[in-house]
């Protein structure tokens, strides 16, 4: 019974992997040459320690100064955010908004982002986080993918610490898989996930979809939940893995905060559409059966299915990592394939409880 269940589950799982691989192979990287006016929006709460690095990188962008603005929204910050921004008052594109109020129906970061969007002057909005660093080519690379019909663009990001870390490499491998899923979701117009640290969309599409209305009370989801809500109003959504558009997210949080962040992200599943809940439930059960088989029926595992599963996982990993020019991380597959299922199952359970701490 267990073997038949595993074989059936593996068949469905490999079909899912094949569809993601197909999306990555079929998606076209269309570009245009017109330089569009752009608004960069950053919501920051008590990020004074990270802002100098971000602002220095934004000050080095190779995009024409007259064609972009930087809107930095202080989201009820109580640290030295305002004083740090004052040190960059010579940046002509920088606009500082000290948001200390409340907006009806909006909680946390969504209120600050909405406030920034409403004060933006341009239709193309580009978002990143305060703990990130952008390359000089960032805006140019994003702009080149914003064709006339493009309304949404998700770009790649990597995590880094000031000192090298094997854990960071594992995180970046895992991150690449989520980006592969996100890219497939955009290709099939069935969003799976997104990332607020490096995304862009049109203000017009945001307004047509009524923005955060209906999801504003949820503390997280300013990226994926918003994308799901906006998709009917999006003409074309694309994914960009080009290193020229990649941002670096610096992980300065401790293990407890990282643990709470993972719980917070997993807690969003309750708000996802049924198709994603069903997919998550299937993967949850499949991983549990896989581990039961691994430790109790190892000799009975169907070798053919295991080889097919492994080949497709390797192909998917290699494809997204090659697109992002991070293929060296593929050597971590044997470690990640053992860790990820356990992590997925654990945080799926913790996230369903909905209890976490957040700043």
**Residue 61, beta-bridge partner list:** none
d(CA 69, CA 36): 12
Do 211 and 285 fall within a single domain?
no
Q: How confident is the model at residue 253 (pLDDT cuts 50, 70, 90)?
A: low
Instruction: List pLDDT tens digits, range 338-348.
Output: 888 777 777 77
Residue-wise over 236-263: b if at least 16 C-beta within 10 A, else e? ebbbbbbeebbbbbbbeeeeeeeebbbb
Which domain-ending residue is among 199, 233, 261?
Answer: 261
For residue 359, tell me if it sits in a domain: no
Q: How confident is the model at residue 163 (pLDDT cuts 50, 70, 90)?
A: low
Which domain-ending residue is among 231, 261, 291?
Answer: 261
Give the residue, 190 or 294, on which the prediction is more confident: 190
Instruction: List pLDDT tens digits, range 310-336.
Output: 999 999 999 999 999 999 999 999 998
For residue 86, tell me if it sits in a domain: yes
Do 127 and 274 fall within a single domain?
no
Range of lowest pLDDT (11-20, 87-96, 140-149, 346-355):
346-355
Q: What was the pLDDT predicted at 26? A: 97
Do 40 and 108 fall within a single domain?
yes
Do 110 and 200 fall within a single domain?
yes
Which domain-ending residue is among 261, 279, 302?
Answer: 261
For residue 248, tell me if it sits in a domain: yes
Q: How confident is the model at residue 203 (pLDDT cuts 50, 70, 90)?
A: very high
- What's the pTM? 0.92
Q: What was the pLDDT predicted at 255? A: 59
Do 97 and 110 fall within a single domain?
yes
Of the candidates 269, 295, 271, 294, the one whose C-alpha atom is nearest the C-alpha of residue 282 is 269
Do 160 and 240 fall within a single domain?
yes
Range of lowest pLDDT (230-244, 269-283, 290-304):
290-304
What is the count of structural domains for the chain?
2
Do 171 and 256 fall within a single domain?
yes
For residue 184, tell me if it sits in a domain: yes
Do 18 and 131 fall within a single domain?
no
For residue 358, tell me if it sits in a domain: no
Mean residue pLDDT of the chain comes to: 91
Do 135 and 52 fall within a single domain?
yes
Q: Counting Cβ atoms within 10 Å, is residue 20 exposed (0-12), middle (13-18) or buried (19+)?
A: buried
State the average pLDDT over residues 103-131.
Answer: 96
Longest dimension (CA), the chain: 69
**CATH number for the domain including 128?**
3.90.550.10
Share of the chain above pLDDT 70, in %: 92
For residue 114, tell me if it sits in a domain: yes
Domain with 10, as residue range(s), is 2-24+270-353
State the average pLDDT over residues 85-90.
Answer: 95
Do 71 and 145 fall within a single domain?
yes
Do 20 and 55 fall within a single domain?
no
Share of the chain above pLDDT 90, in %: 72
Do 239 and 316 fall within a single domain?
no
Per-residue pLDDT for 259 more than 70? no
């Amino acid at each position: 019974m267990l073997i038949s269940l595993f074989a059936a589950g593996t068949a469905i799982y490999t079909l899912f992997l094949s569809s993601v691989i197909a999306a990555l192979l079929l998606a076209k990287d269309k570009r245009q040459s017109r330089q569009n006016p752009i608004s960069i929006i950053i919501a920051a709460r008590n990020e004074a320690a990270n802002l100098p690095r971000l602002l220095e990188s934004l000050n080095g962008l190779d995009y024409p100064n007259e064609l972009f603005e930087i809107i930095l929204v202080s989201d009820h910050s109580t640290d030295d955010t305002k004083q740090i921004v004052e040190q960059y008052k010579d940046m002509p594109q920088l606009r500082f908004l000290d948001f200390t109020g409340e907006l009806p129906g909006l909680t946390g970061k969504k209120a600050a982002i909405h406030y920034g969007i409403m004060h933006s002057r341009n239709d193309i909005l580009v978002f990143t986080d305060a703990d990130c660093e952008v390359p000089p080519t960032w805006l140019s690379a994003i702009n080149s993918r914003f064709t006339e019909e493009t309304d949404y663009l998700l770009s790649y990001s990597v995590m880094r610490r000031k000192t090298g870390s094997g854990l960071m490499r594992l995180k970046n491998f895992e991150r690449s898989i989520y980006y592969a899923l996100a890219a497939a979701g955009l290709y099939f117009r069935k969003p799976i996930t997104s990332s607020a640290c490096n995304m862009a969309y049109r203000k017009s599409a945001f307004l047509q979809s009524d923005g955060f209305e209906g999801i504003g009370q949820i503390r997280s989801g300013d990226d994926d939940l918003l994308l799901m809500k906006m998709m009917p109003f999006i003409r074309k959504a694309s994914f960009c893995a080009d290193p020229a558009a990649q941002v670096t997210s610096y992980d300065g949080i401790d293990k407890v905060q990282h643990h709470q962040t993972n719980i917070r992200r997993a807690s969003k599943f309750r708000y996802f559409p049924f198709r994603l809940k069903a997919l998550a439930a299937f993967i949850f059960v499949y991983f549990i059966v896989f581990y039961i088989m691994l430790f109790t029926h190892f000799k009975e595992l169907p070798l053919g299915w295991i080889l097919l599963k492994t080949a497709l996982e390797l192909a998917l990993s290699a494809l997204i990592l090659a697109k992002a020019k991070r293929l060296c991380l593929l050597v971590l597959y044997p470690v990640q394939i053992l860790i990820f299922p356990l992590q997925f199952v654990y945080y799926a359970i913790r996230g369903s409880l909905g209890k976490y701490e957040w700043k």
